[in-house]
Structure 1
Amino acid sequence: MIRSDIIRGHLDSIVLRLIFEEDRYGYEISKEISSRTEHRFQIKEATLYAVFQRLEKKELIESYYGSFSNGGKRKYYRITSLGKAFLKETAVEWKETKEIIDLFMEGLD
């Protein structure tokens, strides 16, 4: 299991990336994160909704209600053009950060 504090600073980028692929709702995003990490990282519901609020406040995503499912409407999120530009920037930053950290961590495994 991965410590959440290691990933915390990258949650916005992770969620944006998933929404970039397609409009999604909260539970779907949570399951996708768990699945892609082979259950090594699971995001808490409260943390995920804090990410949604932060991204909406920055106008990087917007929400809308989809059709009824299991008795209620699901709230979906889609990425904005500002969100796409931000995601592109963070991808470059991540690549540079990873290269720097790799310089110090290679050969320790």
Structure 2
Amino acid sequence: MGNCGLGAWADDEGELTQERLVEAVEEMNVDEVERCLNGGVPVNKSIDSKGHTLLDKFAAEHAAMLRDALHYRGTPGEATKLLVEKQEAAAQTLKVLLQHGAILSGRSAAAAP
């Protein structure tokens, strides 16, 4: 009856893969992060050759988001609105990652360029 695998599965929104989960973290797309994790994509699997985890990626993306907000070229009101929206998305994403047991890779992997 077709090819059914265990763990990650595919649907109309696309196959659940580690790459898709990393992209969702980069975008602070909490719904996609949750969908991937609930679908069986591992939360603490190394995402690169240096041993970084999703929580490392989240921290790097969050830092970049804050830098971008500080250098936003719109009005102060627009910059503030953008910062608040991005912070809310980041907080929700972090909450889901932590609920699924996400951890930082550790000092040696996180410090590697």
Task: Please confirm whether the aligned pair reaches a TM-score higher than 0.5, indicating the same fold.
Answer: no
Into which bin does the TM-score normalised by the smaller protein fall?
0.3 to 0.5
Higher helix share: 1
TM-score (norm. length: structure 2): 0.32
TM-score (norm 1): 0.33
Higher relative contact order (CA 8 A, sep 6+): 2
Query: Higher strand fraction: Structure 1 or Structure 2?
Result: 1
